[in-house]
Amino acid sequence: MLREKTLLFLPGPTPVPPRIQAAMAMPMVNHRGPEFSALHGEIARGLQALFRTREEVYVLPGSGSGGFEAALVNFVPAGARVLAVSIGDFGDRWARAAAALGYRVERLEFPPGTAADPEALRERLRADTGREIRAVLITHNETSTGVTNPLAELAAVVREHGALVLVDSVSGLGAMPLEMDAWGLDVVFTGAQKALMLPPGLTIIAASARAWAAAEEVDQPRYFFDLRPYRRGHRDHSVPYTPALSLLYGLRESLRMIEEQGGVEAAWARHRLLGAMCRAGVKALGLELLCRDERYASGSVTAVKVPPGVDPNGLRRVAREEFGAVLAPGQGKLKDAIFRIGHLGYATPHDVIAAVAAVEMALVRLGHPVPLGRGVAAAQTVWLDHLAAEKGDRT
């Protein structure tokens, strides 16, 4: 096996395109000088297009989890009640982060593999007659289960109540539809190592005018994740601390790539295709998906139930060692119940075909009989049908 050509089918970190790697090799510049202003300005515009917002988008050194903290400490008063809507491990983590920061956390949980139900959310918020809940925490795409929440509907329900809508779109933004302004999302954050095709290391966050108005009365202690100095300096392309310059060069290149390939809507369509191919492939092998409802199936990552009698660690080990394909394990309660195939960021239909082929071969090696090529053929068929439909649309 050529180790350098290991195929990374993780839902982050995802492979980094050579073009972005090259961009990140740029020499350092003065982050208080004119080159930085140009870099910052271009990134700021590109991110607004990606977030579908007219608000400013800030880029901080950090990771996705930095967004958990920044979204709370800037916009929710100390000790306030928040409602954490959780459909999996990352929803749980955000709830734990909120509790660690001293917020009074209520939870609304849904079983793994399902999306949050807007009606259940409405009921819960209606019970809050004293309007004590100041913010609702929602995961856009739950990476641990491969489920995408009906974010527009959930946000509309929160609007009826009046709390802020805080959204973790770490593995959703740039892969699945998200309309920050049109859907009334108050805070949206993401990380670098998912649909943006970068190495890890950035927290990227935007807030609505409503969120900024609410921020006026926020007394929560904060320093590194205080967004106010970012906001004050934004128009002058000034950031409070030394920025992660190499990653910013990479981010500029990533935004250019997304734009050149048809913009964010084209990226959404590509991920939709990748998800559909992957699901068709694994289902054709007789494997079961964790997410049974196609409407909420993720375009970033597919969670597959480990078939009875198959050792999940063995499956991933064989896929990695014998076929050079890195699959992701289940997380938390689902550790041994599922494996996950990431298909986001720098991913093409060929990658999905390779991932399904590796799963087929690993299962055969483990003595679990699957008909070789059946999953691959199903994935190919989805791709061909997609092309035919696209060509049909054009004529």
Ligand X SMILES: Cc1ncc(COP(=O)(O)O)c(C=O)c1O
State which H helix or E strand residue 60 sits in: strand 57-61
Distance CA 25, CA 38 (A): 18
Residue 107 Cβ vs ligand X, minimum distance, rounded to whole Å: 16
Largest CA distance in the chain: 62
Task: Indicate the Cα dihedral angle 313, 314, 319, 323, nearest 10°.
Answer: 140
Q: Given the rule CB under 6 A, which residues bind ligand X?
A: 12, 63-65, 90, 139, 143, 168, 170-171, 191, 200
Residue closer to ligand X by CB (options 139, 208) is 139
CB of 159 to ligand X, least distance (A): 23
Residue nearest ligand X by beta-carbon distance: 64
Q: How far apart are CA 90 and CA 65, in angstroms?
A: 9
Least Cβ distance, residue 362 to ligand X (angstroms)? 23
In the complex, least distance from residue 33 CB atom to ligand X, rounded to whole angstroms: 29
CB of 237 to ligand X, least distance (A): 25
Cβ at position 68, least distance to ligand X in Å: 7
Closer residue to ligand X in complex, CB, 56/168 = 168
Q: Tokens 């970033």 map to which residue?
A: 300
Instruction: Tell me whether residue 201 or residue 243 sits nearer to ligand X (CB atom).
Output: 201
The nearer residue to ligand X, 13 or 281, going by C-beta atoms, is 13
239-257: string of b/e by CB count within 10 Å (b at 16+)? beeebbbbbbbbbbbbbeb
Decide if 162 contacts 40 (C-beta within 8 A).
no
Instruction: Please identify, using beta-carbon distances, which residue of 94 and 103 lies nearer to ligand X.
Output: 94
Is residue 48 within 8 Å of 54, Cβ to Cβ?
Answer: yes
**Cα–Cα dist 36/230, whole Å:** 15
Pick between residue 117 and residue 168 the one whose CB is nearest to ligand X.
Answer: 168
């290149």: which residue's tokens?
253
CA count, 13 A, side-chain hemisphere, 273: 24
